[in-house]
Structure 1
């Protein structure tokens, strides 16, 4: 009954959001309705992901959720690129990375830790994720360093950005081959290996995949409608573009991962939650950001990979605390609290900029 009610509410708010957008109703009303719709779609996507994970395994299920969840983020960013809002694109990418590493991972670890005293997952996977996060930080830090020290010109930094973007995409593809094929067993989460055998999936395999796709498409539409209200929202509430991009847009774009990761953690599937949160951040840094650089290049005006000092510091801090917490392959509610505290500190700091 509860699931049927959520489905009905999802349809109602999705339709209402579409009407508000195409009828050009008050932008703030559009924002509120679309935001509620995103939350409801996120819950639907979380259910679909959980079912897919039952058939495909936790690692692949987590990867699929991160991929489908980031589809909305990619669509929002491309729309912002077309409007020339490069600074907001970079801010939203920053927000996605720190949001997943601090907010999504923090809430998941906290929620799972409240229900289960200690949760464990594959230590090798934690170590590899930590190394990849450091690579992402290096890739973002080096171009900014060389440009700000005037070692290279702005034209040369565009070329460097394209080269770094290409290398990051290759690194991400190599990671997929390593984690999904050549070392699949090595990175498998064996701590909850038998749990799924005692659970019956809500939907069939085909229906689960279909619902996952439908939920993603719905998220993309609602996200697109939200982008059109951001300018009015920013002006009416007096927020900076940096804050809106790094926190408002990022939270909305990552709503799908939020619910799915928390739901899985509360079912003692913390390995899948970590794969969603950390995997999504890695996908943003190693794939989505580089793809956007190439998209901007083909649009005729290359977006460089140089982030501001504030954005770089926020990413570095997030990577540092997240890596230190997950590296032992064990989590508890207090560690989740620490991640959330750091997220709030960054949020207040960005708000005051």
Structure 2
């Protein structure tokens, strides 16, 4: 029976408006006393555990390339059980590849929370973190030529292999369409690359013309001075990028929207993990890459002897391909999606950062360690880099038919 004043109906309406968090969940214990079945602390712990397992699943099990992750622990195990340096080097190399890819993924997730400009610079920095970590471990072992050749190989692979594959694949997919890119940003990066090549050219010219006042010491002093100048120039470039409204790294156009501090791009993509989860995974992946890089560097000479291949081939070809594997794939995929601007930003921007930051950084770190790291990359390597930068800059300048601005 419903009372004539309709109070029962009103009570039902009030209860229907109450949310699930407003109504305490009760249960009856063995002693007949009612108590809360789920406390606030237990509910928070449950949410944290759920988020942890969700982020763990996204990081470790969503990418097919993660099938190579077990090779990392195998490399550590084999290094303690056998003396096969070739196998340790191979497994370390394979184990670093998925870590580098996941490092790029977590950085891209962090971009949603940091904004486009800071996120783009963060993406470029962590995109080259693998090469820098390997270089620092090689410097600790006194393998200066390995550091020089691996950094040189990173620049050449980005500007020749990655950029060439991006243009080629994009041209195949959009055979009847002219792909467009922002020529102004490409020219700025090309100018920075030319400046970096000049910094590498002067110590080599000083060495091979035998005009040093103090043989050996003048070359290192000039390299350290040039490195400091390039680091200052790159810092100014970063400051300009952060303050400029024309963001060359901006993956989100004017149609993008911002909801609660989280950016969504034109395709409606949203972050898959939270900001703090991305930061924690960045730290974990960086530490694990550092550990594997130590085993990788220690096994380079043994692998060269076991496989009967020169160390220069390992340094110039194998190490850069592993370190830039994620960037290679992303640049090609963006070109096939008709986003040539992003492909150029990945390829040329990465080369710019290695030449203007990575190489001078290693010179300064070697200076601190007491290692005679300099900018004399030998005459052939320096000439190769100089010609590569000139060819790419000339191509970006005169391209008006199939690739134009």
The two structures have a TM-score, normalised by structure 1, of 0.82
| Counterparts of 1:49 and 1:114, CA distance in 2 | 30
Structure 1 position 236 matched with structure 2 position 310:
no
Once residues 81 and 205 of structure 1 are traced to their aligned partners in structure 2, the CA distance between those partners, rounded to angstroms, is: 36
CA distance in 1 between counterparts of 2:352 and 2:147 reads 17
After superposition, the Cα gap between the structure-2 partners of 1:223 and 1:123, relative to the gap in structure 1 and judged at 3 Å, is: same
Separation in 2, partners of 1:328, 1:188: 23
Q: Which of 184, 203, 208 is 2:245 aligned to?
A: 184
Q: Does residue 1:148 correspond to 2:208, yes or no?
A: yes
Can you list the C-alpha shifts for 1:195-245, whole angstroms capped at 9, x where unaligned? 722222351451445444444443333333222221122122332232222
Write the distance in 2 (CA, Å) between the matches of 1:32 and 1:133.
32
Contact 1:46/1:259 (<8 A) preserved: no
User: In structure 2, how many angstroms separate the alpha carbons of the residues matched to 1:41 and 1:190?
Assistant: 23
Residue segments in structure 2 that go unaligned for 5+ positions in a row: 1-56, 257-264
Q: CA, structure 1 residues 217+120, in 2 after alignment: closer, same or farther (shift >3 Å)?
A: farther
Match for residue 286 of structure 1?
A: 356
Q: Does the aligned pair in 1 maintain the 2:248–2:345 contact within 8 Å?
A: no
2:140 matches 1:70: no
Cα distance, 1:220–1:332 mapped onto 2, change above 3 Å: farther
Structure 2 matches for 1:148-297, cutoff 5 A? 148-152=208-212, 153-181=215-243, 183-185=244-246, 187=248, 194=255, 196-206=265-275, 207-297=277-367
The answer to which of 284-293 and 255-264 deviates more is 255-264
- Is this contact kept in 1: 2:120–2:250, CA < 8 A? no
CA distance in structure 2 between the partners assigned to 1:63 and 1:288 by the alignment = 14
Q: Is the 8 A contact 1:119 1:332 kept in 2?
A: yes
Across the two proteins, how many residue pairs are aligned to each other?
Answer: 333
Larger Rg: 2
Would the alpha carbon gap of residues 209 and 269 (structure 1) be closer, same or farther in structure 2, given more than 3 Å must change? farther
Structure 2 contact 234–357 (Cα < 8 Å) conserved: yes
SS of the counterpart of 1:102? helix
- 1:102 to 1:54, Cα distance in 2 relative to 1, 3 A: farther
State the secondary structure of the residue aligned to 1:198. coil
- Residue 68 of structure 1 and its aligned partner are, at CA, apart by 1.0
Across the aligned residues of Structure 1 and Structure 2, the Cα RMSD in angstroms comes to: 3.1
Q: Which has the higher contact order (CA 8 A, sep 6+)?
A: 1
Q: Which position in structure 2 is the counterpart of 1:344? A: none
**Does the 8 Å contact 1:42/1:259 carry over to 2?**
no
Q: Are the structure 2 counterparts of residues 52 and 276 from structure 1 closer, same or farther at C-alpha, using a change threshold of 3 Å?
A: farther
**TM-superposed deviation, 1:61:** 4.4
Gap change, CA 1:203 and 1:256, over 3 Å in 2: same
Q: Which residue number in structure 2 is paired with residue 121 of structure 1?
A: 181
Q: Give how far 1:166 is off.
A: 0.6
Distance 1:191 1:46, change over 3 A: closer
**Does the 8 Å CA contact 2:219/2:374 hold for their aligned counterparts?**
yes
Identify if the C-alpha distance between structure 1 residues 25 and 138 changes in structure 2 by more than 3 Å, giving closer, same or farther: same
SS of structure 1 residue aligned to 2:266? helix
User: Deviation per CA, 1:315-352, whole angstroms, max 9, x where unpaired?
Assistant: 1122122223334688969x9xxxxxxxxxxxxxxxxx
Task: Tell me: CA distance 1:119–1:34, structure 2 relative to 1, closer, same or farther (3 Å).
Answer: farther
Distance in 2, Cα, partners of 1:188 & 1:94: 24
Secondary structure of the structure 2 residue equivalent to 1:303: coil
Distance between the aligned counterparts of 1:320 and 1:249, measured in 2?
Answer: 24
